[in-house]
Chain A
Amino acid sequence: MPSNESIRNFAIIAHIDHGKSTLADRLMEHTGLLGERDKKDQYLDRMDIERERGITIKAQSVELTHKTADGRTFKLNLIDTPGHVDFAYEVSRSLFACEGVLLVVDAAQGIEAQTLSNVYLALEQDLEIIPVVNKIDLPSAEPYRVLQELEDSIGLDIDDAVLCSAKTGQGIDDVLAAIVNQIPAPKGDPDAPLQALIIDSWFDSYVGVVVMVRVVQGTLKKGDKVKLMATGAVHDVTRVGVFAPDISDRPDLVAGCVGFVIAGIKTLEAARVGDTITHKDRGADSPLPGFRESKPMVFSGIFPVDNADYEDLRAALEKLQLNDAAFNYEPEVSDALGFGFRCGYLGLLHMEIIQERLEREYDLDLLNTAPSVVYRVRTKAGAEFEITSPSKLPPIGEVESIAEPVSKVVLHLPEQYVGPVLKLCEDRRGTQIAFEYTGPGRVQLTYEIPYAEVVFDFFDKLKSVSRGYASMDYEVVRWEVSDLVKLDILVNKEPVDALSIIVHRDNSFHRGQIVARTLKDHIPRQMFDVAIQAAIGTKVIARTTVKALRKDVTAKCYGGDISRKRKLLERQKEGKKRMKSVGSVEIPQKAFLAVLSVDDG
């Protein structure tokens, strides 16, 4: 039985594309865990979608066995973490299981805003941080400039830094040595009453709920009777073990270990992340502190293009939620789009990933409405509540005030892009909080920007005005009453509820014009004039018309070939399924998509 002394729990913090998963693969190879035949780039990222986007979403863990040159053997637990700010919550959970982190920074690009925020999370938990400058094989690598930047911006001790290339394998042994020598062994008494924190849980169709735990005190063995402290529910532990990298059974997990528990738990709700597992008998007196709960901040409607797919969509959402407790949904009915679901996400990337998985893994054609943030509404009658959809906003006459979430946005960028980035922030109703130089030519900007403005393609715009060099991080810090209005879109006087948005009054005119114009460009001419209006309450602020078709006929003789014409008609009829009827106006799916991704430029 290994003692705590030979265990090292660590995570890797890195910006997207800075080489985290490649480094993880290399560590697995160097410790003999991953042979040539297993080699598949980015082993940790189990889902295709992650592999494609080069990011990691669910926390994963792998146990590596490392023999040092002087003959000692260590168990190195690599806890993988997501790299994106939407998943900060999962990052802090993963970090809880660690005593140290590898901070991987691209030798050519330097540190990015999102990485910094994760570094701060690690510092908050008092973890040992080992700077790892990766990609030193690149011709454009400037490892020493990057190290200097780390020292200047975070005050890290760069004497312990490691230079490596995960791609070529150069310096990987140094990384392993740093893990063993710099990261402390976990504390905890294997003989104390059991306290194991649930870091993650997911549903496996063969074994039921798999729970990932960090054993903080005591020892967890196969066959134990354990109690989930939040609910008091008792379960028999049928299996314990680690990922090496596939599921691998062990007789027990001692204090300091990270591993899995399978105990016949049927639902994810029963194994809540942050809950503490103890023994039924001789249990711990109190649970571990747990985590703050992650709350969806971004909402959008998801509707099947073909109403017949509704049940398939429901089934797909159910399955997705099984392994993503941060994602939630409830039925929603739209006059224009029919039956669908209102879905809540941690952030924009989370939303995109869910939508993409639905389309790809479940082969569903979907319409997604514009993302909305949560608003706090106070009515004149004194009621206060939160709304997640513009359609839930009461008539404007009944509304006393609407408050919106405001986010603190931290931006890192080379100074030559300061001009356009400042303009972008100002255009998005931002208030500057700080403007600092973090190194030669590097600027850190801090802004307060309404979260709704961040959600609305801010990131894409930032990347475009900075040619991809700016990075950002954000968190919602407070709520603020603002002059917000609901902008409705009417097609031949019928409101299209799915196109309603809540906007700041100052932007409403501009926005209404753009939406009306975009719709006009995407609604084909019909047999009658189609009036498109943007309105606030009863006041129309923009209008345009799709003129009636003047010609839709072929003036020639068919030469008897009627079957071709018939087939064409049948295809048109199929195409109509992809249209949504509002009143008698047929609006193609692409019109909705165009409005939802409308460029505000």
Chain B
Amino acid sequence: MSSDATPPPWGIYVHTPWCRVVCPYCAFAVRPVRGADWDAWRDGVLRDWQRLADAFPGRASTVYLGGGTPSLAPPEILRSVLAGLPTAPDAERTLEVDPGTVDRDALAALLDLGIDRLSVGVQTFHERHLRALGRGHDLADTRQLLRHITALAPRTWSLDLMFALPGQTLAELDADLDAVLDHAPPHVSLYGLTFEPGTPLHRLRDRGRVQETDEDLWAAMYDRIGERLGGAGYERYEVSNLARPGHRSRHNEAGWRGACYAGLGPAAHGFLPPTPGAPWGRRSVQPAEVGAWLRAGGASFETPSAHESAVDLLLSTLRHVDGTPLRELARRDALPDPREVARLVDLGLLLDTAERLRLTPAGVRLADGITARLVAAMPPTEP
């Protein structure tokens, strides 16, 4: 499909359901790779796209292969997936890569497919914590992969860093940050460990076997990361993402700003452009169970109301450094009560410019609570 007017940019997210091992903290739709059927997965992803294609005009500006561990997929499988998806020539193509899943040649082959951005699941530079997290790699794997990346030099790459690990000290975090700065990734994604219901880690905590990091240490760690990476030229452009100039994740950033994306693969979420019957777009989600998805697929759809759309917008934009455009809330009749806004401004948590609501540095640490207060301060909706 195409039209004369320039269509708004949109992206594609492809979910890979398989990992070497399932990490004990992970609540994503992931299965051990032993049972992987990559041919079927490829067919399923392309089938998903065929069913959604009519909703998306032109070509995708970004493609994101996430998971799961997409770097476990044979390169020829990824090649046919990428070939079957309409992407602009200058599109950002991100692949999540885990240490220990690719050697230098395999990585080179992946980059030859047009992958120009790698998101590397380093998590921590401490062997003890890697083991406790149940990751499928060790530190030697990490160092080797980072060496290959330096040598092969993709256009850009991101390092995933976890913190607030059970028993982690501030000194250990500092050591991790030293290592991060040594490798100088253009982008860092943070993950402050959460205990998700249904995960083994959650059960261990409930049994008192591991301890969740207390609030004060968590805050100290989060601030420390901001200070040290900030001092090295990284900008925190989203609650859990920092980048050097020009290296933000285009795919994620578009999503946070409310852009549309197609969600392909099991459990993948998507956001479809507005139609006359769905003025605020449509949310899609693919079947979460791999077997059901492989057999038949078939996304389910949700049409957000103006209010729901406003809540979604606030949820994703307020976490971004640019904040929430008030005009967009106004379009949805969802401007929060100015008294609540004023209260949050008085508390030094929010900046209220004429056009946008933005979190202050102190507000970033309380983003969830502030969002909840702003949502509660939106005009009531009809039941």
Contact = CB atoms under 8 A, between A and B. Distances in A.
Given A560-B268, A566-B308, A552 B366 contact: yes
B366 A565 contact: no
Contacts of B371: 569
Contacts of A561: 269, 285
B189 A557 contact: yes
Contact of A573 (B192, B308, B375): B375
A553 B371 CA distance: 10
A560 B271 contact: yes
Nearest to A573: B376
A557 B237 CA distance: 13
B283 A527 contact: no
A416 interface: no
B311 interface: yes
Given A554-B192, A562-B283, A528 B369 contact: no
A550 B219 contact: yes
Contact of A555 (B222, B370, B376): B222
A576 interface: yes
A53 interface: no
Interface string A153-164: 000000000000
A572 interface: yes
Contact of A550 (B192, B194, B216, B349): B216
A557 B269 CA distance: 13
Nearest to A566: B311
A556 B240 contact: yes
Given A550-B218, A557-B240, A562 B312 contact: yes
Interface in B161-219: 163, 189-192, 194, 215-216, 218-219
A549 interface: yes
A563 interface: yes
Interface in A526-554: 527-528, 549-554
Interface string B303-319: 00000100110011000
A584 interface: yes
Contacts of B271: 560
Contacts of B28: 559
B315 A562 contact: yes
Interface in B268-298: 268-271, 283, 285
Interface string B256-275: 00000101000011110000
A551 B192 CA distance: 11
A499 B163 CA distance: 42
B302 interface: yes
B257 to A, nearest CB: 13
B376 A556 contact: no
B343 interface: yes
A557 B252 contact: yes
Interface in B49-96: 66
B302 A563 contact: yes
A551 B372 CA distance: 14
Given A527-B370, A553-B366, A569-B371, A560 B261 contact: yes
Nearest to B374: A569
B213 to A, nearest CB: 9
Contacts, number: 99
A561 B263 CA distance: 10
Contact of A551 (B189, B190, B219, B269): B219
A297 B239 CA distance: 58
Nearest to A569: B375
B191 A566 contact: no
A509 to B, nearest CB: 31
Central interface residue in A560, A562, A565, by most chain B CB within 10 Å: A560
B367 A552 contact: yes
A551 B375 contact: no
B308 A584 contact: no
B365 A562 contact: no
Nearest to A577: B376
B364 interface: yes
B191 A551 contact: no
Nearest to B241: A557
B159 to A, nearest CB: 14
Contact of A569 (B283, B311, B347): B311
B368 A555 contact: no
Given A562-B315, A562-B316, A556 B215 contact: no
Contacts of B189: 557
Contacts of A549: 215, 366, 369
B157 interface: no
A84 B380 CA distance: 48
B255 interface: yes
B10 interface: no
B125 interface: no
Nearest to A560: B269
A527 B240 contact: no
A562 B239 CA distance: 15
Contacts of A584: 343
Contacts of B255: 560
Contacts of A573: 372, 375-376
Contacts of B190: 555-556
Contact of A527 (B239, B268, B349, B364): B349
A491 to B, nearest CB: 16
B218 A551 contact: yes
Contacts of A525: 215
Contacts of B375: 569-570, 573
Contacts of A553: 239, 364-369
Contacts of B368: 552-554
B366 A555 contact: no
B13 interface: yes
Contacts of B191: 555-557
> Which interface residue of A553, A566, A572 has the most chain B CB atoms within 10 A?
A553
A527 B359 CA distance: 13
B365 A552 contact: yes
Nearest to B378: A573
A154 to B, nearest CB: 58
B215 A551 contact: yes
A192 B368 CA distance: 82
Contacts of A560: 13, 255, 261, 263, 268-271
A587 B349 CA distance: 21
A524 to B, nearest CB: 10
Contacts of B344: 527
Contacts of B240: 555-557
Interface in A93-125: none
Given A551-B215, A554-B194, A563 B365 contact: no
Contacts of A558: 316
A527 B269 contact: no
Interface of B: 13, 28, 66, 163, 189-192, 194, 215-216, 218-219, 222, 239-241, 252, 255, 261, 263, 268-271, 283, 285, 302, 308, 311-312, 315-316, 343-344, 347, 349, 364-372, 375-376
15 contacts: A527-B344, A549-B215, A549-B366, A551-B222, A553-B365, A554-B239, A558-B316, A559-B269, A560-B13, A562-B269, A562-B315, A563-B302, A569-B371, A570-B311, A573-B372
Given A562-B312, A566-B308, 13 more contacts: A525-B215, A549-B215, A550-B215, A552-B370, A553-B365, A554-B239, A555-B192, A557-B189, A557-B252, A559-B269, A563-B283, A569-B375, A572-B376
A-B CB proximity, top 5 nearest: A555-B192, A560-B269, A552-B369, A550-B219, A555-B240
